[in-house]
Amino acid sequence: MLELAYLRNHRADAETRLAKRPIDAKALLDKAAELDEVRRATQAELDAKQAEMNTMSRSIGELMKAGRRSEADHIRVQTAEFKEHLQEMRTRLDATEKALHDHLCTIPNAPSDKVPAGRTAEDNTVVMQEGAIPELGPDARPHWELGEEFDLLHMDLGVKITGAGFPVYSGQGARLQRALIAFFLDQATAAGYREIIPPHLVNADSAFATGQLPDKEGQMYHVAEDGLYLIPTAEVPITNLYRDEILDPAQLPVKMVGYTPCFRREAGSYGKDVRGLNRVHQFDKVEIVRIERPEDSYGVLEEMVEHVKGLLRSLELPYRLLLLCGGDMGFASAMTYDMEVYAAAQGRWLEVSSISNFETFQSNRLKLRYRGADKKPHLAHTLNGSALALARIMAALLENNQGPDGIVIPKALRPYTGFDRIHK
C-alpha cells in the first residue's frame, strides 16, 4: 500500500510513476485525494467535538467529587445530544477511513524510475544473457519423459494421491531435489543470510501485509475452518517476522533465507505452460528476504541479482536476466528482475527467479519501521528474491544435461547428490 503522505506530498511523481502501469493513474489518485480530504475534515470535526465532550465529562467528575450533584446532573443532561452527534460522526469517520483504506488497497506500487514502460511480457528488457545453449540431438526429450524413464518424477502418481500439478519425486530425483535445496541454502548462508524455517500456513494479517490479500486472494489455498492460508512463497511468513516492529539502526540490514514448499492454485492456467514441472501447484523454493534503509535498497537489489547469477553459473545453466516493464510487474513491486533458464528440449525459457524491491509498499502494511538518525520511526524498504525456485531448475537440468550415458549432474551439486550422473 502506498503511503498516504507520499500521495499527498508528491502527487505528480506518483502519477508519473504509476502511469507506467496499465491503469488509470489519474483517476485512482484523484479518488484517493478526495477520500483523504473528506477523512481529514471529518476527523478534525470529530476531534474537536470529542474534546468538548471530554471536558464535560471531566466537569461532571469534579462536581460529583465536590458533592455538587445537581450541577453535575445539569451537565449530564446536555451530554445526551452530544453523544448522539458524536456517534454519528464516529460512524461517518469509520466509513470514510474504510473507503480510503479499501481504495488504497486497489492502487499498485509505483514503479521505479528505472522501470521501462510497457504492457506485456513482450515489453520486458533483456538485460543480459549468459551460458551456452546446449545443442541437443533430434531425440532430445522433455523433462517429464526423462522423469518417468529414469524414475525421478511422476506426475501421474501426484494426480492419484492429490491432483494435477502435485509432482512426486522419487529415487535420484528426490535426492537431486534435496541436493538443490541444501546447495541454495548453503550459498545464501555463506553470503550472510540467516536461515529461517517458517510455518507453511499463515493468517490473514500476514497475507495482507505482504500483499497477497486482498490482491491475489484466489491464488492461495485457503483453510477456511482455521482462517489460514497455505503460503505461496516463503516471502510471506519470513517478511512478516518483522511485522509491527521498530528496528534499532544497528539491526539493519536484515538478511534472511528460508526454504519452504510453495502452494499456488494457478486457477485458469492450461495448455503447454503446465506440462510437467513448468507450472505446478506445489514446488520448493529457497527465498532470500532483506529489510533495508531506503537509500540502500536499490544497491541491494543489484546485489541480490548477482547472488542469483552466481547460483545459475554454478549449475552451468544458460540464463537471461529480464527487467520487467510496468505492465508485467507484480502489484506490490516497485521494480522487478526476473531470471529465466533455458530448457533446451522444450526450447523455451522458464522463469526461475523473481527479485523485487517493494520500497515501502509492504512495510507500510507491515508497520515495519526503523529508527532513523533523527530518532524517529521511518518505514523500511523490503526486498525479496527466489534463490532459487526448484521445479523448473530441475526441469532445465534434466533436459539440458541429458546424453547417451544418462543425465550429468553439475560439479557444484555432486557433493550434495553423492552421484555425478543419473543412470537408468
Give me the residues that bind RNA (CB under 7 A), please: 4-5, 40, 43-44, 46-48, 50-51, 53-54, 56-58, 60-62, 64-65, 76, 79-80, 83, 246, 369, 376-377
Minimum gap (Å) between residue 200 Cβ and RNA: 14
- Please say which residue, 53 or 105, places its beta carbon nearer to RNA: 53
Q: Among 410, 314, 300, 404, which Cα is nearest to 356's? A: 300
The least CB distance from residue 118 to RNA, in Å, is 33
- Of 85 and 114, which has the nearer Cβ to RNA? 85
> Minimum distance between the CB of residue 359 and RNA, rounded to whole angstroms?
16
Amino acid code (one letter) for 63: L
The whole-angstrom separation of Cα 330 and Cα 214 is 14
Beta strands at 381-389 and 282-292: parallel, antiparallel or unpaired = antiparallel
Residue 73 CB contacts under 8 Å (≥ 6 apart), including other chains: none
Task: Classify residue 70 by its DSSP letter.
Answer: H
Decide if 276 contacts 142 (C-beta within 8 A). Answer: yes
For residues 64 and 159, which CB has a smaller minimum distance to RNA in the complex? 64
Q: How far is the CB of 297 from RNA (least distance, A)?
A: 19
30-33, long-range: CB within 8 Å, 24+ apart, which pairs?
Answer: 31/103, 32/4, 32/7, 32/100, 32/103, 32/104, 32/107, 33/7, 33/8
* CB 323, CB 127: distance < 8 Å: yes
Helix (H) or strand (E) holding 243: none
- Which run of H or E residues covers position 370? strand 368-371
- Tell the smallest beta-carbon distance from residue 62 to RNA (Å): 4
C-alpha cell read off for 197: 524455517
Q: How far apart are CA 26 and CA 12, in angstroms?
A: 10
Rounded Cα–Cα distance for residues 352 and 238 (Å):
20
Closest distance of CB 74 from RNA, Å? 11
> 23 or 60, CB closer to RNA?
60
Cis peptide before 253 (omega within 30 of 0): yes
What is the closest distance, in whole angstroms, from the C-beta atom of residue 253 to RNA in the complex? 20
φ, ψ for residue 306 (rounded to 5)? Answer: -65, -40
Nearest to 147 by CA among 421, 414, 407, 416: 407
> Which residue, 83 or 194, is less far from RNA as judged by CB?
83
Rounded distance between C-alpha atoms, residue 311 and residue 352, angstroms: 11
Residue number, 231 or 422, with CB nearest to RNA: 231
| Backbone angle region of 370, left / alpha / beta, with phi > 0 → left and psi within -120 to 50 → alpha | beta
Closer of 93 and 140 to RNA (Cβ): 93
In the complex, what is the shortest distance from the CB of residue 287 to RNA, in angstroms, rounded to a whole number? 24
- Sign of the alpha-carbon dihedral angle for 188, 194, 200, 203: negative
Q: How far is the CB of 378 from RNA (least distance, A)?
A: 8
To RNA, the closest distance from the beta carbon of 382 in angstroms equals 17
CB of 18 or CB of 247, closer to RNA = 247
- Minimal distance in Å, beta carbon 345 to RNA? 41
Q: Where are the beta strands (DSSP E) in 89-147?
A: 125-130
Q: Measured from the CB atom, is 97 or 266 closer to RNA?
A: 97
Q: How many CB atoms lie within 10 A of CB 302?
A: 12
User: Of 210 and 360, which CB lies nearer to RNA in the complex structure?
Assistant: 360
The residue among 45 and 130 lying less far from RNA, judged by its C-beta, is 45
